[in-house]
Structure 1
Amino acid sequence: MVVEAAGIFDALPAGARPFAGRGAELAALGVAAGRPAPGRGRLLVLAGRPGSGRTALAVRWARSVAGDYPDGLLYARLSAPDGGRVGAGRAARLLLDQLGERPGAALLPGAAEEDPACEALREALGQRRALVLLDDVKDAGQVWPLLAEKTSSLLLATTSGPLTGIDGIDPVILGGMDHRAAVELVGELVGGTRVSCDPVGAADLAEACANRPAALRLVAGWLRSEARLAVTDAAARLREVPPPAPAAVEGPVKPADPDRETVPVVEGDPLRGAFELAYRRLPAARARLLRLCTLAPGQQVDLRTASALVGCPAPEAGGSLAALAELELLEREPDAADGTERYRVPGRLYGRLVELRAELDRPSEVELARARLLERLVRLVDSARLLLDPAAGPNPDPLPGPLRLRTAAHAEGWLRGEREQLLAAVADAVGQGDLDGSAGRLVTALLRALPLTGEAAPADLHALHESVLKVAERQGNPRRAAAALLNLGDLQAAAGRWEQAGERYRAAVELARGAGDEPGCARALEGVGHGHRALGDPLRAADAYGRALVLRQALGDQPAEARLLVRLAEAHAGLRRFEEALREYRSAAAVLRRTGDARGEREVEALAARLRRHLGREGFRPLSE
């Protein structure tokens, strides 16, 4: 994230440099943005195949009109690296964070059909004039929940196909570049002198790349590393790259639906050939790093994560990342808050790199790389926590100098900036299920560290406790699973979702009871009682509190015993069992007196006195008096 000199918040990617051509498409976006959208907020759609430069074009246009959107340029990627879709709720939380809106407990994911974060984003955009770039949208279901009805904000979606289900959309179609602009781009990327000496070769190279910017950039990066190779020879070598073997298809092949074909298909996709030329030029160690970068959370890497993946010193990893970016095999991302350079594996190359990883890297090596990465993240999060909580003492296992977080401000900035990647690392590890020990340590470290930043969103904590639950269930650890359910129940209770909280608490009761965890069972029963009370059922609340009280008394936990006696008294009062309520208040005061808690005793006596005054106004006199 960066802030432009004009003072407009800008969370967009860095964008392609140099940028050439696309004048017609930029103008078309400007015209489309001026069209009214009756009944909903404005939505622009830019459709183009991967490698067509659609993200670069969208970023370029968005920055050109930034002055019309003083509340900022926001960004969310709506596809996973493997091609899967990112849910609208997750995107909404990211965009709310960019707007400075801190999602509260009410924005927890729940059983409702629509994620509450989507409604919160629509409300926030309705009060602002912002431009939101939704990159690589897979379907209209990701966009509709984010589209406010009445707003001055604008949504710009890039996609590779039609977004059926949204009426009145006339997408701007992106094919290859204008041939002259493509040749100009080759000249800027490779070097003007080299191209001016061979203009026919430059034109031939642009044609071999189908005038597609991604392929042109890859070939140009390769040409920069081959100083003695003529531009004409580069075009010839690109054409010599054999096409990929066709995938085996079972059953009859279905013809393409012409009504759904929005983006023109290029025969003989040059992107793969351009990648193969650039990849073959890499030294073995650098090629291995590029393949292993696909294991990084969100495919975003820096010297800290890259050095862990390949097991090399951080400066060496940093140099290799910069070299891969020079070859256009990695994309530059905005620098981290501490100035650390960050890179991303381009989505258009991800699939081929995963294929190469499966072919060339042994499974044991891949697992070791993932384990090194998780342990590196655990150490980083723990070091951040120790800096943010000086009372915890010095770090007993400091990281090497280039990796180290040095101050509390540095640690806080790192945790905030890397939060999405850290949560993605947990989700990846828990999903694969083969490194549960490392994944569990990372979850524990995050649960301790994130609240110290003051921005531990309940949805993040919910996701982490869900991860703990999955690991505990997979490992057959009912005690740990019960603890995770209790924490999930507490989060739902804080959001006022008592039915969902009750489900979690009741499941925790069964697991804790089966594991012989009496303290856990007592805590879960107390949560069940809170849920019944909140839902207007004091009878069941009294029953749950009573069962929890028996367990606490058996454990000799007097503070918890006094607290439950007060809860039981309140439930009895709700049932108009005033004698029982006053008796429980007296018992609670007696317990607190034995523990020496004079303040607590006075508070309980005040509750009892208030109940007596209420009964006196109603003309009711307890038999005990």
Structure 2
Amino acid sequence: MARKTATMDPGPDAPAGAVPGLDRLPAGPALFVGRRAELAALRAAAARPATGRSPVLVLAGRPGSGRTTLAVRFARTAAVDHPDGVLFARLSAPDGGRVAPARAARLLLEQLDPEAPVPLPGATEDGRDEPACVALREALAGRRVLLVLDDVRDAGQLWPLLADEPGCLVLATTAGPLTGIEDIDPVILGGLDRQASGELLADLVGGTRISCDPVGGADLAEACAARPAALRLMAGWLRGDPKAAVTEAARELTRVVGEESARSAAPKGDGEKAEKPAKPVQGAKSGKPGKPGKSAQGVKSAQAAVPGKPVQGVKSAQAAVPGKPVQGAKSAQAAVPAKPGKAPKASPPGEGPAEGLAPEPAAGETAGEQAAWVKPGPEPAEPVPVPDSDPLIGAFTLLYGTLPAAQARMLRTLTLAPAQTADPRTASALVGCPAPEAAATLAALAERELLGQEAPAADGSSRYRVPGRLYPRLVRLREQEDRPAETELARARLLERLVRLTESARALLDPEAGTAPDPLPAALRLGSPEHAREWLLGERDLLLGAVADAIGQGDLDGSAGRLVTALLRALPLTGAAAPADLYRLHELVLTVAERHGRPRRASAALLNLGDLQAAAGRWEQAVTHYRAALEHARTAGDEPLCARALEGAAGCHRALGDAVRAADWYGRALGLRQSMGEPAAEARLLARVAEAHTAQRRFDEADREYRAALAVLRRLGDERGREAVGAALADLRERVDAGW
């Protein structure tokens, strides 16, 4: 049977007009079946009148239950009611890492208005008062926007993004409970019903094979727990072996799941911990696991879907855990029991309040107003794992075993890609093959349901992503089957490819910048300045992620440093480089410099960070950076860097209205510039000291400094400078004569 193209079917209810941001949603699978009750529940919830903050819809389900696909489906049909656009962000990495709310807010702000400046990071990445979160909430005021937040780990990620705008709608998908936010009545995703499971298998495998063996089809659906992801993987296995019977597929899957379950239950060797089976949600009436035909229609509970036990037909008002009821919540989310005698975790320095605890009210916000947003809840939930005995892992194991060596290697190696997302350019670098060959391999893996399709790249080329539900198993396979040297070489090739692409984009955007780099192969080449600009902006987050990953591991600092340098030179040429991006890059430079004991480079990075903070009017933060830069510069014995740090700190004190400290720091910078023999800087600093003395009403000293500056400027022949300083001196004397 010929497969349908892997693009999202918008459905019969899709809006006719173009709504901004629809192209940012994941492409998703071509085939969509079932979930009528869940879609109806979402539409009914979205239609309810809202007041105060933005209403929140939640889709809860285990990995592989199709929650992201359903969320995208709903977003495409509901976009017509949100003409100001659709925003999309993932709040978890494939490895289960938690994305800070501030980072998600910056991504959403860029989508909302690419030309608007994104605030620099604040002192905390998780608090409601973090600048990016505040800016997002302010930007959403008065708009009708649909925010799709995928794979939310806990309520602490969600509540800082909720605006006081009932016209906006937030749709969040999650695998765990979201306790702490009121008025959430989630839709729980279990398995597909019997009819939908049969339709999905028939469409993916071929109607004849399924219709000729309806019992085998039902057995296969039951072995897959009727979950869409497992069904798709088994359909890929059947397509790869046209002679295999559907009954055989069900039998093989049952065998593999049994073997994996026995292996997981077996005692572990030294240094290994036996995996604990997932605890079922207590106080809930659920159907049998894997039994198709029971949808989550009418569910009034917000339980987290527990691996190994789908939540179906829940009737309880809340999933009560002994000793810890959920207080003040209208939904029935599973609560995490508090450990006796254990205080809540303190937040690390610079990371804001501990998750799940109500933070201190922001300035101007009363405790009552804050309580309307979030109530004390559990600490952040751990990532919901996919146990080895899960049918999803069994289906993957069967399908992976049938892959050609080249496809299996590509699939394993894609776990090294930034954000586990790749196009033919990055995939070819990772495995060391031509780009057309990489494109064909990526398409083949997507055809077999092993990769998810993302929104296209700026040049229209396809982009793919390793599903988070498969990521841990693929990492384990990579560590088992690939030598460490091969993995390091793949990462090095990727960084070098990104360096060459970035340098090529810079050469196109600024032909007069210098010698153009060696041309890339035709399949990788950026064709025009506009193409280069779109590539830089479209791949900006992935480029920054690649640098951060490399520097975090610490073994490829040379290649990572070249990529940082290339990005610092190229991004400003786009005309839309956010200061927040440059800030992240300079932070990475600082990390590498301090790691390798290079105080001069660390000082330069801190000066750049201070300049960005000062440009944003955040003077206290800028002073902190300038002081740290001064210490590094003194260690390196670099007088120019010392002088620059002194002058920067003085400017911050001047902006803060602290004339005494400003005069002191300007005076120290002046003495250093004089010893270095820099008359132009000397004249500038003399004028600055005079201004500080004037603010302190020390008019005689100010008059003397202005006259000294005029003398230096006269020697330099700087007529324009003499006019400016002369005007300032005349104004000072006029004020003194007037008794000011």
Give the corresponding residue for 1:290: 411
Q: Distance in 2 between the 1:290 and 1:77 partners?
A: 21
Higher helix share: 1
Give the corresponding residue for 1:18: 31
Identity between Structure 1 and Structure 2 (%): 65
Shift of 1:614: 2.4
Q: Distance in 2 between the 1:257 and 1:503 partners?
A: 49
Correspondence for 1:219 among 230, 234, 241 = 234
Pair 1:156-2:171 in alignment: yes
Correspondence for 1:198 among 188, 198, 213 = 213
C-alpha contact (below 8 Å) 2:504/2:517 kept by paired residues: no
SS at match of 2:170: strand
Pair 1:40-2:64 in alignment: no
Which stretch shows the higher mean deviation, 494-503 or 244-253?
A: 244-253
Correspondence for 2:308 among 223, 242, 266 = 266
Give the corresponding residue for 1:334: 455
Shift of 1:107: 4.2
C-alpha contact (below 8 Å) 1:539/1:575 kept by paired residues: yes
Give the corresponding residue for 2:144: 129
Q: Distance in 2 between the 1:105 and 1:406 partners?
A: 29
Shift of 1:16: 2.3
Q: Distance in 2 between the 1:13 and 1:109 partners?
A: 30
Give the corresponding residue for 1:408: 529
Give the corresponding residue for 1:535: 656
Pair 1:88-2:101 in alignment: yes
C-alpha contact (below 8 Å) 1:36/1:42 kept by paired residues: no
Give the corresponding residue for 2:255: 240
Q: Distance in 2 between the 1:195 and 1:494 partners?
A: 65
Which stretch shows the higher mean deviation, 391-400 or 89-98?
A: 391-400
Shift of 1:115: 1.3
Give the corresponding residue for 2:601: 480
Q: Distance in 2 between the 1:141 and 1:270 partners?
A: 31
Encode CA deviations 1:375-432: one digit per residue, 9 max, x unaligned.
Answer: 1111111111111112114523221111111211010000010011011111111111
Pair 1:449-2:570 in alignment: yes
Give the corresponding residue for 1:315: 436
SS at match of 2:89: strand
Equivalences for 1:374-393 in 2 at 5 Å? 374-393=495-514
Equivalences for 1:505-520 in 2 at 5 Å? 505-520=626-641
Q: Distance in 1 between the 2:279 and 2:511 partners?
A: 65
Amino acid corresponding to residue 20 of structure 1 in structure 2: V
Give the corresponding residue for 2:342: none
SS at match of 2:28: coil
Give the corresponding residue for 1:395: 516
Give the corresponding residue for 2:194: 179
C-alpha contact (below 8 Å) 2:453/2:465 kept by paired residues: yes
- The verdict on how the C-alpha distance between 1:257 and 1:614 changes in structure 2, with shifts beyond 3 A counting, is farther
Q: Distance in 2 between the 1:532 and 1:81 partners?
A: 45
Give the corresponding residue for 2:353: none
SS at match of 2:692: helix
Amino acid corresponding to residue 633 of structure 2 in structure 1: A
Encode CA deviations 1:193-217: one digit per residue, 9 max, x unaligned.
Answer: 3323333322222222111100111
SS at match of 2:464: strand
SS at match of 1:75: strand
Give the corresponding residue for 1:66: 79
Give the corresponding residue for 1:8: 19
Shift of 1:612: 2.3
Which stretch shows the higher mean deviation, 596-605 or 88-97?
A: 596-605
Shift of 1:255: 5.4
Shift of 1:22: 0.6
SS at match of 1:64: helix
Amino acid corresponding to residue 62 of structure 1 in structure 2: A
Query: Which consecutive residues of structure 2, in runs of 5 or more, have no partner in the other structure?
Result: 1-6, 284-301, 310-388
Amino acid corresponding to residue 491 of structure 1 in structure 2: L
- The verdict on how the C-alpha distance between 1:273 and 1:256 changes in structure 2, with shifts beyond 3 A counting, is closer
Q: Distance in 2 between the 1:101 and 1:324 partners?
A: 33
C-alpha contact (below 8 Å) 1:103/1:458 kept by paired residues: no
Give the corresponding residue for 1:166: 181
Shift of 1:249: 3.6
Encode CA deviations 1:520-568: one digit per residue, 9 max, x unaligned.
Answer: 0000000111122222221221111111112212222222222211211
Q: Distance in 2 between the 1:13 and 1:195 partners?
A: 29
- The verdict on how the C-alpha distance between 1:395 and 1:118 changes in structure 2, with shifts beyond 3 A counting, is same
Shift of 1:264: 5.1
Give the corresponding residue for 1:623: none
Q: Distance in 2 between the 1:512 and 1:605 partners?
A: 35
Shift of 1:451: 0.9
SS at match of 1:132: strand
SS at match of 1:404: coil
Pair 1:440-2:561 in alignment: yes
Number of positions where the alignment pairs a residue of Structure 1 with one of Structure 2: 619
- The verdict on how the C-alpha distance between 1:291 and 1:420 changes in structure 2, with shifts beyond 3 A counting, is same
Correspondence for 2:486 among 365, 371, 374 = 365
Which stretch shows the higher mean deviation, 326-335 or 267-276?
A: 267-276
Shift of 1:265: 4.0
TM-score normalised by length of structure 1: 0.95
SS at match of 2:475: helix
SS at match of 2:469: helix
Give the corresponding residue for 1:522: 643
Q: Distance in 1 between the 2:139 and 2:697 partners?
A: 45
Give the corresponding residue for 1:189: 204
Question: RMSD across aligned C-alpha pairs, in angstroms?
Answer: 2.2
Amino acid corresponding to residue 177 of structure 1 in structure 2: L
Q: Distance in 1 between the 2:278 and 2:449 partners?
A: 36
Q: Distance in 2 between the 1:359 and 1:537 partners?
A: 61
Give the corresponding residue for 1:611: 732
Shift of 1:254: 9.4
TM-score normalised by length of structure 2: 0.80
Q: Distance in 2 between the 1:255 and 1:13 partners?
A: 32
Give the corresponding residue for 1:100: 113
SS at match of 2:172: strand
Give the corresponding residue for 2:64: 51
Shift of 1:579: 2.1
C-alpha contact (below 8 Å) 2:663/2:689 kept by paired residues: yes
SS at match of 1:421: helix
Encode CA deviations 1:467-497: one digit per residue, 9 max, x unaligned.
Answer: 1111101000000111111111111112222
- The verdict on how the C-alpha distance between 1:422 and 1:254 changes in structure 2, with shifts beyond 3 A counting, is closer
Query: Which consecutive residues of structure 1, in runs of 5 or more, have no partner in the other structure?
Result: 620-625
Encode CA deviations 1:340-388: one digit per residue, 9 max, x unaligned.
Answer: 1111001111010001011111111111111111111111111111111
- The verdict on how the C-alpha distance between 1:375 and 1:234 changes in structure 2, with shifts beyond 3 A counting, is same
Encode CA deviations 1:322-356: one digit per residue, 9 max, x unaligned.
Answer: 11111111111111121111110011110100010
- The verdict on how the C-alpha distance between 1:277 and 1:111 changes in structure 2, with shifts beyond 3 A counting, is closer
C-alpha contact (below 8 Å) 2:114/2:576 kept by paired residues: no
Which stretch shows the higher mean deviation, 337-346 or 95-104?
A: 95-104
Q: Distance in 2 between the 1:314 and 1:252 partners?
A: 43
Pair 1:461-2:472 in alignment: no
SS at match of 1:243: helix
C-alpha contact (below 8 Å) 1:82/1:351 kept by paired residues: yes
Encode CA deviations 1:418-471: one digit per residue, 9 max, x unaligned.
Answer: 011011111111111111111111111111111111112121111111111111
